[in-house]
């Protein structure tokens, strides 16, 4: 059985408190609205207060998310750097981009940030991986940062590069399945690298409630780990995997390119539709791993924290205790939703947590467009 191990995470440089992020969002939306509608300063302030009230009602509040990070300085005025994509939160000088800069500028930021991350992450690496899987849904360029670092390190004849793109929040699990396939066919080490730069994809002129929810949740995340064919060391042993697409739910979640970045559609029904499929899905996952559903009471759950309600619904439907989902809730609180990079952060914390004993089963669950429910049964070693 293959082993997930060697986790390293890099926090993007610009970290803000959730309250700072929400205050910035209110100002940014007000600035965009004022520019497009020709409002004066008083009208702008009134609209900012309206957005702040809406964010307090529908957004993810600071008691659920404490901090979020971005590769952009735009949300962190204390850093005293000029905004890169979004200037509508400022009033002097007047903003020039009510929707943020366009797709080309956003892709340029993605390219530079990802190239720099790969170069730094592999600068001291002596041994080339057999395979390198790059996971993202927040930017696309060819050659990718993964291909560039393989070429720069002279690994082109040794390391194969595979792109696992545009699956959204559940992509870590298909990436692990791909890696397991590579180890089954002879690879000894497969590296998986996530570069999710979600903050490149805001539109401050879109004031719909679902967009305020999305903009209050997402953050940037960078993480790397390996799947090893040898499972003798510490890590998470892969036991079984499962994936289903829930019927008649294609409308509930979408992630599509637009002129102003990737745009997410997120229906309120997502937690309930996932919950309806969940118990049977988890039972099948246990069955594939040679366990009965009664093993659930001794299992720790690594749930992709799409938002607080997702964790709550998983806990309630599966009749879990709060400690069984505490690590997922902690990652959401400390980092926000980092799309596909979030679940690997949960795995990393479980491995580092001495309270989670070796031999503990770990059920990993993640969700994304489709609606896709994806899972894996792991064991801490």
pLDDT tens-digit readout, 79-103: 678 899 999 998 778 788 999 999 9
- Whether 184 is covered by a domain: the verdict is no
Residue the block writes with tokens 């937690």: 271
Res. 18 pLDDT band, cuts 50 70 90: very high
pLDDT tens-digit readout, 101-155: 999 999 999 999 999 999 999 999 999 999 999 999 999 999 999 999 999 999 9
Q: Average pLDDT, whole number, for the chain?
A: 94
pLDDT tens-digit readout, 242-292: 999 998 888 888 888 888 888 887 777 788 888 888 999 999 999 999 999
- Whether 175 is covered by a domain: the verdict is no
Residues in the chain: 381
- Whether 330 is covered by a domain: the verdict is yes
- Whether 361 is covered by a domain: the verdict is yes
- Whether 20 is covered by a domain: the verdict is no
pTM above 0.85, yes or no: yes
CA distance 86 to 205: 11
* CATH code for position 334: 3.40.47.10
- Whether 305 is covered by a domain: the verdict is yes
CA distance 136 to 110: 11
pLDDT tens-digit readout, 54-68: 999 999 999 999 999
Number of domains the chain is built from: 1
- Whether 16 is covered by a domain: the verdict is no
pLDDT tens-digit readout, 213-247: 999 999 999 999 999 998 778 999 999 999 999 98
Q: 50: exposed, middle or buried (C-beta count within 10 Å: 0-12, 13-18, 19+)?
A: middle
Where in the sequence is the domain holding 240, given as residue range(s)?
A: 236-380
What pLDDT score was predicted for residue 79?
65
- CA-only gyration radius of the chain, Å: 21
- Whether 173 is covered by a domain: the verdict is no
């Amino acid at each position: 059985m293959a082993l997930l191990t060697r986790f390293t995470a890099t926090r993007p440089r610009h970290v803000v408190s959730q309250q700072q992020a929400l205050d910035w969002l209110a100002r940014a939306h007000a600035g965009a609205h004022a520019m497009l509608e020709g409002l004066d300063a008083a009208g702008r302030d009134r609209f900012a207060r309206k957005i702040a009230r809406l964010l307090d009602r529908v957004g993810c509040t600071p008691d659920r998310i404490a901090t979020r990070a971005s590769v952009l300085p735009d949300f962190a005025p204390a850093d005293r750097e000029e905004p890169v994509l979004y200037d509508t939160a400022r009033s002097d000088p007047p903003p020039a981009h009510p929707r943020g800069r366009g797709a080309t500028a956003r892709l340029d930021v993605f390219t530079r940030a990802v190239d720099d991350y790969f170069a730094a992450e592999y600068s001291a690496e002596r041994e080339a991986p057999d395979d390198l899987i790059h996971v993202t849904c927040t930017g696309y360029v060819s050659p990718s940062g993964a291909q560039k670092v393989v070429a720069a390190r002279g690994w082109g004849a040794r390391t194969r590069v595979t792109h696992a793109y545009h699956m959204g929040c559940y992509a870590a699990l298909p990436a692990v399945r791909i890696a397991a396939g590579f180890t089954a066919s002879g690879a000894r080490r497969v590296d998986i690298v996530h570069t999710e730069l979600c903050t490149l994809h805001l539109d401050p002129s879109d004031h719909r409630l679902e967009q305020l929810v999305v903009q209050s949740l997402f953050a940037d995340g960078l993480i790397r780990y390996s799947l090893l064919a040898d499972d003798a060391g510490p890590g998470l042993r892969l036991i079984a995997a499962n994936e289903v697409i829930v019927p008649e739910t294609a409308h509930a979640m979408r992630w599509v390119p637009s002129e102003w970045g990737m745009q997410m559609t997120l229906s309120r029904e997502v937690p309930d539709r996932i919950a309806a499929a969940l118990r049977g899905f988890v039972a099948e996952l246990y069955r594939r791993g040679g366990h009965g559903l009664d093993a659930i009471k001794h299992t720790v759950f690594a749930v992709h924290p799409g938002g607080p309600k997702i964790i709550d619904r998983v806990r309630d439907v599966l009749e879990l205790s709060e400690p069984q989902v505490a690590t997922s809730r902690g990652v959401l609180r400390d980092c926000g939703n980092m799309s596909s990079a979030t679940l690997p952060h949960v795995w990393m914390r479980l491995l580092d947590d001495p309270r989670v004993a070796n031999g503990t089963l770990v059920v990993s669950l993640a969700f994304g467009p489709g609606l896709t429910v994806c899972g894996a049964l792991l064991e801490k070693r």
